[in-house]
Amino acid sequence: MNTGRIAGIEALLRWQHPDLGLIMPRQFIPLAEENGLIISIGRWVLNTACRQNVAWQQEGFPTLTMAVNLSRRQFFGKDLLKDIKGALQESGMAPC
């Protein structure tokens, strides 16, 4: 607050449904957890967030720390490190 600079960012997921409008995570994340779609949704969020962060850097914004929420299934899944590495490599985002 003292410097007025952004210290970090968080990727937040919202679903813009064509008929129902904006749907908040509390409405669709539990369903995605139940039916197993949360893994592919989480992977998409991670990839998209990394690409967006790099795009902002290419536009001249400073390098920012970014938080991406993980589901319990993702966190304990066997592919989490592979997914993170892939998102970083595909986007060109530095791991730091």
Residue 25: C-alpha distances to residues 19, 22, 31, 77 (Å):
17, 10, 10, 21
Does residue 63 carry a pLDDT above 90? no
- Tell me which residue range forms the domain holding 59: 24-91
Residue 80 banded pLDDT, cuts 50, 70, 90: very high
Maximum separation of any 2 CA atoms in the chain, in Å:
45
In a domain, 84, yes or no: yes
- Residue 41 confidence (pLDDT) above 80: yes
Q: Which of 20, 19, 69 is nearest to 43 (CA)?
A: 69
Pairing of strands 8-11, 65-68: parallel
Q: How many domains does the chain have?
A: 1
Quick one: pLDDT at residue 42?
A: 94
- Whether residue 9 lies inside any domain: the answer is no
